[in-house]
Amino acid sequence: MAVKSNSRNKPGTATGMTRRTVLKGVGLAAVAAPPLLSRVARAADAPGATSVDQPISGSITITLNINDKDHQVAVEPRTTLLSALRDRLDPPITGPKLVCNANTCGACTVIANGRNIYGCSVLAVDMIGKKITTVEGIGTPENLSPVQAAFVEKDAMMCGFCTDGFVTSTTAFLKKNPNPTLDELKQGLKGNFCRCGTYPRIFEAALAAAKVLKASGK
């Protein structure tokens, strides 16, 4: 959650706060607040959410923005975003899958602020304030996105357990690279793995979807 510094900052400090003010802890809110503090203070409005410099622990309720909707969810600091989605939310969001839990396979891929990331390798508390998209937010069976429709048409799946991650990565990739070569596409998808062997048809689907997206001007 990078925050821009304001013009009043002293050189060498990020926010113009001195060590002395830091030691005051929560009392910072009473001091004239540079943008950093007020940004975090919004998150602090939700019960139990994190505030600047104040260590938090134990069970906390945070707000996560997922698929354009704010969700309140109880987590611990050590709860990953993936676990928050799958184990803590009710009803759970289960599109992103738990496969390796070690940022090595891509089945847990979600999009955060437009970039695809491994949901298992970020903490839920670190995702406050981000716009998170899971595969469920990309399309539904009744309303498939062009990427999803292309996956269906080209048979870009078998058991399907890697598929949500690939759909998500492909969606994020094509937004940034609307006209990829096959090699560029492979580079873009090399963080997602499949055991059944669906890669060649995923490539076909992605390239077909790129054409559809281009034609529709998206």
Partner 1 sequence: MNNFEWANASSIESAVKLLQPVDPQGDPDEMARPIGGGQDLLTSMKEYLVRPPRVVNLKTIAGLDQIKPDGKGGLRIGATVTITDLYENADVQAKFPGLAEAATSIASPQIRNVGTVGGNLCQRPRCWYFRLESVQCIKKGGPVCYAAGGQNKYNAIFNTGPSKIVHPSDLAPMLIALGATVTIFGTEGARTIPMDTFFTTPNQDVRKENILKDGEIVTEVQVPATTARSTYLKFKERESYDFALSAVAAVVEFALDKTVRNARLVLGGVASIPWHVPAAEKSLIGKTITEDNAAAAATLALANAKPLEFNAYKVPLTETLIRRALLKLNA
Partner 2 sequence: MATKTIKVPKMLNGAPTGEVDTIQVEDYGVATWGPKTKHRLLNTHLPRVDAPNKTTGTAIYTHDVKVPGMLHGRLVTSIHAHARITSIDISAAQKIPGVKAVLPIVAAGGEVIYEGQAVAAVAATTPEIALDGARAIVVKYQVLPHVVTVDDALKPGAPTVGRGPGRGGNGQGNQQQVEAAVAACDAVVEAEYRTPILHHCCLETHAVVADFRGGPNATVYVSTQATFGIPGDAQRELGVPVTGVVTHMGGGFGSKGGGIGVVGQWACRLAKQLNTPVKMVNTRREEFLMTGNGPGSLHKFKAGANKNGTLVAISTIQYGMGGIGNGGIAAQPYSYVAQNVFRQSTSVNTHEDSSVPMRAPGHPQACFAMESLMDELAYKIGMDPVEFRKKNLPNNANGTAWHRQLDAGAKAIGWANRNATPGGGAGPLKRGMGCAIGSWGGGGRAQCVVDVKISQDGSVLVTSGSQDLGTGTRTYVRAIVAEELGLDMTAVVEKIGSTAYGNAGGSGGSTTTASLAPAVKDAAYNARIALAKLVAPLLGAASADEVWFDKGQAMGNGKSIPWKQACAAVPAAGLSARGQFVGALSGNGAHGASFAEVEVDTDTGHVRVTKMCHVQDGGLIMNRLTAESQINGGMIQSLGMALFEGRVMDPALGIMLNPAFNDYKLPGAMEMPELIPIIDDGDERNVVIGIAEPANIPGCGAVANAVFNACGVRVRETPITPDKILNGLIELRRAKA
Name which of 140 and 181 has its Cβ closer to partner 1: 181
Residue 134 site contact among partner 2, partner 1, none (CB < 5 to 8 Å, cut-off depends on kind): partner 2
Q: Which of 161, 175, 207, 212 binds partner 2 (CB under 8 A)?
A: 161
Angle, CA of 4, 40 and 30, to the nearest 5°: 105
Whole-angstrom distance, CA of residue 36 vs CA of residue 213: 38
Sheet with 131-133: strands ordered across: 69-75, 60-66, 131-133, 109-112, 115-118
DSSP 137: G
| β-pairing verdict for 69-75 and 115-118 | unpaired
To the nearest 10°, report the CA torsion of 191, 180, 116, 101.
-10
Q: Please identify, using beta-carbon distances, which residue of 52 and 125 lies nearer to partner 2.
A: 125
126 binds, among partner 1, partner 2, none (CB under 5 to 8 A by kind): partner 1
The reply on whether position 73 binds partner 2 by CB under 8 A is no
Give Cβ neighbours of residue 215 (< 8 Å, ≥ 6 apart): none
From residue 73, give the alpha-carbon distance in Å to each of 54, 65, 91. Answer: 20, 11, 11
Specify the residue for token string 């923005």. Answer: 65
66, 122, 203, 209: which one binds partner 2 (CB under 8 A): 203
State both tokens at 62. 């945070």
Q: Is 71 in the site for partner 2 (CB under 8 A)?
A: no
Residues that bind partner 1 (CB under 8 A): 1-6, 9, 12-15, 17-19, 22-23, 28, 36-37, 40, 50-58, 76-78, 80, 101-104, 106, 109, 112, 115-118, 121-123, 125-126, 169, 173, 187-188, 190-191, 193
User: Nearest approach, Cβ of 131 to partner 2 (angstroms)?
Assistant: 18
Instruction: State residue 80 phi and psi, 5-degree precision.
Output: -75, 160
Asked if 130 interacts with partner 2 (CB under 8 A), we say no
Closest contact distance (angstroms) between CB of 202 and partner 2 is: 8
For the record, the structure tokens of 134 come out as 């899971």
- Choosing from 102, 215, 216, 217, the residue that interacts with partner 2 (CB under 8 A) is 102
Q: Which spans of this chain sit near partner 2 (rule: CB under 8 A)?
A: 76, 78-79, 83, 86-88, 90-102, 104-105, 107, 134-136, 138-141, 144, 148, 151-153, 155, 157-164, 167, 185-187, 189-190, 192-201, 203
